[in-house]
Amino acid sequence: MNKNEEIKEMVKQKYSEIALQDQDINASSCCGSGGCSTEVYNIMSDEYGHLDGYNPDADLKLGCGLPTEFAKINKGNTVVDLGSGAGNDCFVARHETGESGKVIGIDFTEAMIDKARNNAEKLGFNNVEFRLGDIEKIPITSNIADVVVSNCVMNLVPDKIKAFSEVYRILKPGGHFSISDIVLTGELPDKIKNAAEMYAGCVASAIQKEDYLQIIKDAGFKNSVLQKEKPIIVPTDILKNYLTKEEIETYTAAKTNIYSITIYAEKEVSCCEPNCC
């Protein structure tokens, strides 16, 4: 098994554990409630409660932004959520598309797909579906999505160039995405980069902000806009699980910055006929 496959298996295992955890237990734990910071998964999550369509049963507090709030979804749109988890962003998107639209969630963790399907069934939604699949090879026909959203997932994908080329492929000409993710300015210590928990928590897997934005540009997207940016502070009680006191002091002094960003970009309308522009 190569390194990329090992990373995928590690992430899949961790998120399967979270999906299978009882909702009440998760809500009362450090990870679920934010009551303490011994877990990295929820230190960057935003509150969804003010958004129409929000369903608490689908919110596992695993995101780092609110991409559906910024996604400019219209009635009747086809929306694809990459890394859909228990369905949180899909159900918010479904409120925006209405009954005439369609929402497709993609996740490569079977336990998450099962949880999302159960949530959709309880809500009685027949225009929201969940498919098991890899973001590096999205199981969706080309040129089908009006909008793509994703919340703190693209950074977990080993081949980010391939992932964004897949986003471009499935979008209709003139379609767009709104993606929330974690990026860096500065370098993380190797002990954090190599920690499985920090990788699954979206910190160790983050790349440089400039590199991330360049991948989007190279994929062919136009009119990119940084819709939101906020700093992410990793608390000392998490850092001490991986670094010595001296290493924490060095890391803090180096001023490595971790950010949650929400980025918007469009797929150009192609001109294939004479005088069509």
240 to 39, 95, 252, 253: CA distances (angstroms): 12, 42, 12, 15
Read off the pLDDT of each residue in 63-87 and give the average, rounded to a whole number. 96
% of the chain surpassing 90 pLDDT: 60
Q: Which two tokens stand for residue 10?
A: 């590690």
Integer Cα distance of 128 and 88 in angstroms: 12
Mean pLDDT calculated for residue range 76-105: 97
Domain boundaries, the chain: 3-266
Half-sphere exposure of 178 (CA within 13 A, CB side): 19
Biggest alpha carbon–alpha carbon distance for the chain: 67
The 3-state DSSP composition of the chain as helix, strand, coil percent (nearest 5) reads 40, 25, 40
**Cβ proximity of 34 and 61 under 8 Å:** yes
Banded pLDDT at 76 (limits 50, 70, 90): very high
- Please report, rounded to a whole number, the percentage of residues in the chain having pLDDT higher than 70: 86
Q: Is the pTM of this model over 0.85?
A: yes
User: Residue 158 class from Cβ within 10 Å (0-12 exposed, 13-18 middle, 19+ buried)?
Assistant: middle
Nearest to 181 by CA among 228, 130, 218, 138: 228
Beta bridge partners of 106: 82, 131
Question: Which amino acid is it at 46?
Answer: D
Does the domain made of 3-266 have the CATH classification 3.40.50.2030? no
